[in-house]
Structure 1
Amino acid sequence: MSTVSARSPLPRFPELRGRVALVTGGAQGIGAAVRDTLLAQGATVISADLAHPSAEPTEVAVGTAASAAGGTAAATGGRLFEARLDVSDEAGVEALLDAAWRGVGPVSVLVNVAGMSTMDFVVDSTLANWEKTNRVNSTGTYLVARGVARRLKDAGLPGRIVLLASQAGKNGYRAMGAYVASKHAVLGLTKTMAIELAADGILVNAICPGIVETPMKHRERVEGGALRGMTAAEVEAEDNSQVPLGRTADPQDVANVALFLVSDLASYMTGQGINVTGGMTMH
């Protein structure tokens, strides 16, 4: 039986060529995989991340390495802009969206990846960590999604909004109370926006990744392991043992699903929380 890996070439989606897509958290991890996948489809991508230097969308040269989508961004006409963004800053979000529409074009695709986590048991947790985590993950997601949806609705344009939740939005996990609560909020926002925007042709879905090999996950293994009296290596082994498919996810596994959700193949889907967990979560 043949196996399709996260890095297998993806089909072409010509409907995405020239579309303007905003990817928050686009500098690393899942966000970078989504960024590169959309670029390779010929989309114009605005990567918004705290790691970028300028608040104004600034065009940068795209990479030359072949992506999982097949070919290079340059070969498919993809254009990359970068902008510094704190998703929890309402004024900053609004300013970036105004600048994007004015200088790049109408943002008709949003993939909101930006997020953070804190590690502590609820009884030992601090209000500061609770507020910081929820400010980025739930309020930040709301601010960006609201801003994109509002502009599309006012302009009478259809669009696709994909919010990154987590399997933590469907389950509880020790030492991650604030993160779990924030991702439950993202799923609630997804369902409500899907209902409210359906008549406008704006489809809103969420992706619920499982354990993904990103810098954030590597930090969580160290911090969570310390709380539980385990090494990071022991936590990693435990992670792999919990996944029926026998491995944790590559960021490209999640980017592939984001690509599907913003393509025409998903034109009859809205309000969904799609698991990408290797079978770890099945509801």
Structure 2
Amino acid sequence: MVFFRSKLRLAIASSTPYFQRGFSTSRIVSKSAIVTGAGQGIGKAIALRLARDGFDICVNDLEANSTKVNSVVAEVQSLGRKAVAAYADISKLPQVEAMVNASVDGLGPLDVIVANAGITKVQWGMDVQESDLQRLFEVNFYGVLYSDQVAAKQFIRQGSGGKIINAASLVAFRPLLMIPIYSATKAAVRSLTQSLAMELAKHKITVNAYAPGVVDTPMWEQGDEEMSAINGLPKGQNFKDTVSLITLGRTSVPEDVAKMVSFLASADSDYVTGQTMLVDGGMAFS
């Protein structure tokens, strides 16, 4: 079924749900999760992991990425879960509201939101333009805040609590060269996560974040190219050079991050809130 709500085009598809063991000893039955920026990379891995854990999934991304979104929807369905595709720019509050409404309409009460969508831009801090600054904060911070706000209001209406999981980054702890504004947005997400955890605890809502390190994703491919244009290293070399900074001796893959989100979305994390969990192979202290 395809319909429009607040200028947001939504495609809803479902299949028969089934029971499956979630993280550790948890059993998740007929629960739903929204994952923003889930058309590829970390977001896709999170959506599929949560589907394997037993969640029905609202797959969000921009409409320009509809082919990728439809592919993720099909993969979720192949795991026996319901899937809702919701195209929205998470930096626009009305579209976030429509996305959450679509998830509830198609999947029932909301249990988890993973505010994963984000962008990056490689540049020296002295070269940052107003337009760059504005867009990075619009997506990486405003988008997380809007997602958290709208989901929390839905959780409160439902009266059964919920889990908010935000995308921070290693750079929220240890800024890296050539991504100063991206680093600042992720530090802001870490702070927001702590603040909302205190504010929403009375509603039985936990708020946590995950902080990936160097992950082999399209975002890092883009960043590597932009770094090469600045420092002159061959394409791919910047990515390879990060290995020496990682205690475990390898860069990560999206599934490494999805495992942490699986924990944060499960009942096993019910007594965890206000935390930003590093998934960086030890890079922050290497």
Under a length normalisation based on structure 2, what TM-score does the superposition of the two structures give?
A: 0.86
Please state if 1:224 is matched with 2:227: yes
- After TM superposition, give the deviation of residue 131 of structure 1 in Å: 0.6
Cα shift at 1:77:
3.6
| From 163, 169, 180, the counterpart of 1:160 | 163
1:39 maps to amino acid: A
Listed one character per residue, the Cα deviations across residues 80-123 of structure 1 (whole Å, up to 9, x for unaligned) are 21110100011111122123223321211011110000111011
Structure 2 counterpart of 1:23? 35
CA gap of 1:74–1:88, structure 2 versus 1, over 3 A, is: closer
The whole-number CA distance in structure 1 between the counterparts of 2:278 and 2:265 is 16
Deviations 1:7-49 (A, max 9, x none): xx98566532310100001110000000101111221100110
- Opposite residue 199 of structure 1, the aligned amino acid is K
Using the TM superposition, give the Cα deviation of residue 53 of structure 1 relative to its aligned residue in structure 2, in angstroms: 7.2
- SS in structure 1 at match of 2:236: helix
Question: Where does residue 48 of structure 1 map in the other structure?
Answer: 60
Corresponding letter in the other structure for 1:160: K
Aligned pair count reads 264
SS at match of 1:106: coil
Give the CA RMSD over aligned residues. Answer: 2.4
Rounded Cα–Cα distance in structure 2 between residues aligned with 1:212 and 1:171? 16
Q: Return the alpha-carbon distance in structure 2 between the equivalents of residues 59 and 239 of structure 1.
A: 31
Aligned pair partner of 1:38 in 32, 50, 66: 50
Alignment of 1:131 with 2:137, yes or no, is no
- CA offsets, 1:222-249, max 9 Å, x none? 1012112212232122111111111101
Counterpart of 2:204? 201
Gaps of 5+ in 2: 1-20
Match of 1:150 among 131, 149, 153: 153
The residue number in structure 2 matching 1:6 is none
Q: Name the residue aligned to 1:62.
A: 74
Q: In the alignment, which residue of structure 1 is the partner of 2:109?
A: 106
Which deviations, in whole Å up to 9, do the C-alpha atoms of 1:34-76 show, x marking residues without a partner? 010111122110011014678xx9998633xxxxxxxxx5686
> Residues 10 and 52 of structure 1: is their aligned pair in 2 closer, same or farther, counting only changes over 3 Å?
farther
**More helix by percentage:** 2
Q: 2: CA distance between counterparts of 1:200 and 1:59?
A: 35
- Residue 125 to residue 249, structure 1, CA distance change in 2 (3 Å): same
Higher mean C-alpha deviation, range 95-104 or range 251-260:
95-104
Contact 1:42 1:79 (8 Å CA) reproduced: no
The 3-state SS of whatever aligns with 2:57 is strand
For the residues of structure 2 that align with 1:240 and 1:58, how far apart are their CA atoms? Answer: 34
| Aligned partners of 1:18 and 1:78 also within 8 Å | no
Q: Does the 8 Å CA contact 1:213/1:249 hold for their aligned counterparts?
A: yes
Identity of aligned residues (%): 32
Match of 2:179 in 1: 176
Q: Distance in 1 between matches of 2:238 and 2:169?
A: 19
